[in-house]
């Protein structure tokens, strides 16, 4: 029988339970040292914020930028909830110095941003646009002048429309085009950027854009075509890692930023934890699993059957090219699971209608996800350097009569999730940094401007930025390097 104990940090698995699954005293997890303050994060922990180019930059037709699939998609009737587009967004292209000042005021030392592929290659490949690269050089110089380290994401969903016209992620050529684009970026910016992320959330942009049709480019492919698009995207990741290493300076580090589908044990028993580990590996079979193992799982290929992607052994070797770290975006529960009664595997549980969620219906409230997600990376794939590349929440942000935005729900969300992240770190999981999503309210894809995720409220008519209560919370947390 598993025993549990109550602590001031909440319900925790006992040493007996951990020992039963071979974790206590191992290099994987360490029993927390009671002599250390439990609320402090490790010295040198990297606190940051995150954004993406299409959601904040605007200036979609400035300085030679070409159209992206999202520029096209946003103009299709009924695709964006409020009928808007990101032509202006937060006008970060012109207001980047003001936004860097916001970061400095928060006290963050790192900033994860994305580079707009169509701003660099308006046609997706071929002749680069020097004015596009010059914008990011100005942004990076401003960050460094304010003692903020830039972390760049190479692709955050804004595929050049010209490449989509030639097949997009259904085409193997797009993977090679990404590698060529990566090589150009690291040659042009790699002297000032030490860490790059390849593609952001392959799972999301392929499944939502090519499977369900609710994101750009709005396709609903058959299973075989969808699986092939997934394969081309993970192949692009591997080719991108190779291109970065071949063209970047010594010491450059690179890895993915994936929205891991995290399986959570319904109750933390040894049996259910094993089931969750099994489920996490299988639920990510076409994404992180193949990237980190160099093979598709037998269960994935069996389920896909005749619709499985076509690939070669050389593809798998490329996809699993060694990475320096892994970034994961963590929001709600991917799935709750338990061990099957016959011990044959895992059973996935359906969320009840009353399960709590944040303003976005898809964002179920599951703080323990920020414990289990990095722990699974370490347990399943022995990842030695982990970054939480996105974590945050939508909220019903409205200024009061004094102009204040008291987003108590976001503060609650962050405090509970970060407590669970600290639980993982205290047990030896090598999480090195955390990027809060997001610095600013912005264009939230198919939701348009109706959904707000920012630490700063943006008045889209005036472009005025106003810090929310959550910005004060995050600033104090960073100052103390401890939960507040």
| Kind plus residue range of the DSSP H or E element containing 151 | strand 149-155
Whether the predicted model's global pTM rises above the 0.95 cut = no
- pLDDT average, residue stretch 428-439: 98
Residue bearing the bigger pLDDT, 437 or 19 = 437
The ranges assigned to domains in the chain are 21-480
Ranking 29-33, 230-234, 312-316 by mean pLDDT, the lowest is 29-33
Average pLDDT value over all residues in the chain: 93
Torsion of CA 279, 284, 286, 290, to 10 degrees: -100
Binding residues for substrate: 55, 156, 200, 331, 437, 444-445
Q: 385-404 pLDDT, tens per residue? A: 999 999 999 999 999 999 99
Q: Output the CA torsion sign for 42, 43, 44, 47.
A: positive
Nearest residue to 133 (alpha-carbon basis) of 181, 83, 199 = 181
Torsion of CA 264, 372, 482, 114, to 10 degrees: -100
Does 379 score more than 50 pLDDT?
yes
Q: How large is the C-alpha radius of gyration of the chain?
A: 22
Does 34 score more than 50 pLDDT?
no
Q: What positions carry a catalytic annotation?
A: 201, 390
Contacts of 86 (CB under 8 A, 6+ apart): 54, 55, 57, 58, 60, 70, 71, 74, 443
- pLDDT average, residue stretch 181-186: 98
Percent of the chain exceeding pLDDT 90 equals: 91
Does 27 score more than 50 pLDDT?
no
pLDDT at 38: 58
Please state, as a whole number, how many other Cβ atoms lie within 10 Å of the Cβ of residue 340: 12
| Kind plus residue range of the DSSP H or E element containing 388 | strand 386-391
Cis peptide, bond prior to residue 5, ω within 30 of zero: no
pLDDT band for 39, please (50, 70, 90 cuts). Answer: confident
Q: 128-160 pLDDT, tens per residue? A: 999 999 999 999 999 999 999 999 999 999 999
Binding residues: 55, 156, 200, 331, 437, 444-445
- Domain 21-480 sits in CATH 3.30.420.40: no
Does 9 score more than 80 pLDDT?
no
Does 482 score more than 50 pLDDT?
yes
Q: 153-163 pLDDT, tens per residue? A: 999 999 999 99
User: SS3 breakdown of the chain: % helix, strand, coil, rounded to 5?
Assistant: 40, 15, 40
Percent of the chain exceeding pLDDT 70 equals: 92
Does 16 score more than 50 pLDDT?
no
Q: 294-345 pLDDT, tens per residue? A: 999 999 999 999 999 999 999 999 999 999 999 999 999 999 999 999 988 9
């Amino acid at each position: 029988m598993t025993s549990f104990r109550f602590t001031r940090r909440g319900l925790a698995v006992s040493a007996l339970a951990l020992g039963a699954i071979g974790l206590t005293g191992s290099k994987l997890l360490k029993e927390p040292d009671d002599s250390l303050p439990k609320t402090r994060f490790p010295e040198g922990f990297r606190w940051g914020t995150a954004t993406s180019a299409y959601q904040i930059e605007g200036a979609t037709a400035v300085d030679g930028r070409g159209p992206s699939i999202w520029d096209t998609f946003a103009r299709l009737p009924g695709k964006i909830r409020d009928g808007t587009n990101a032509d202006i967004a937060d006008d970060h292209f012109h207001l980047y110095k003001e936004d860097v000042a916001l970061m400095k005021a928060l006290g963050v030392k790192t900033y994860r941003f994305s580079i707009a592929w169509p701003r660099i290659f308006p046609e997706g490949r071929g002749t680069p646009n020097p004015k596009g690269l010059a914008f990011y050089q100005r942004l990076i110089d401003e960050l460094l002048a304010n003692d903020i380290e830039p972390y760049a994401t190479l692709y955050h969903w804004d595929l050049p429309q010209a490449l989509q016209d030639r097949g997009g992620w259904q085409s193997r050529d797009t993977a090679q085009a990404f590698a060529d684009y990566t090589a150009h970026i690291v040659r042009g910016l790699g002297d000032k950027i030490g860490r790059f992320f390849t593609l952001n959330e392959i799972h999301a942009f392929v499944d939502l854009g090519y499977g369900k049709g609710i994101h750009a480019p709005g396709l609903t492919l058959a299973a075989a075509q969808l699986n092939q698009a997934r394969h081309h995207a993970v192949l692009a990741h591997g080719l991108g890692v190779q291109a970065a290493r071949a063209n970047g300076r010594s010491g450059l580090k690179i890895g993915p930023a994936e929205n891991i589908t995290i399986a959570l044990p319904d109750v933390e028993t040894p049996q259910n934890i094993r089931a969750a580990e099994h489920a996490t590996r299988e639920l990510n079979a076409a994404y992180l699993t193949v990237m980190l193992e160099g093979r598709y799982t037998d269960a994935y290929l069996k389920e896909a059957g005749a619709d499985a992607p076509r690939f070669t052994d050389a593809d798998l070797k490329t996809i699993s090219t060694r990475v320096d770290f892994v970034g994961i975006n963590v929001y709600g529960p991917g799935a709750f699971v338990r061990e099957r009664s016959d011990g044959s595997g895992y059973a996935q549980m359906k969320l009840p209608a009353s399960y709590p969620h944040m303003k976005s219906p898809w964002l179920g409230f599951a703080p323990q996800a920020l414990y289990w997600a990095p722990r699974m990376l370490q347990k399943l794939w022995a990842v030695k350097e982990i970054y939480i590349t996105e974590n945050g929440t939508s909220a019903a942000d409205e200024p009061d009569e004094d102009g204040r935005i008291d987003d108590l729900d976001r503060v609650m969300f962050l405090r509970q999730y970060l407590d669970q992240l600290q639980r993982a770190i205290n047990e030896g999981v090598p999480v090195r940094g955390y990027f809060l999503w997001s610095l600013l309210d912005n264009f939230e894809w198919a939701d348009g401007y109706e959904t707000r995720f920012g630490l700063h409220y943006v008045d889209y008519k005036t472009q005025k930025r106003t810090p929310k209560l959550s910005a004060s919370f995050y600033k104090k947390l960073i100052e103390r390097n401890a939960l507040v």
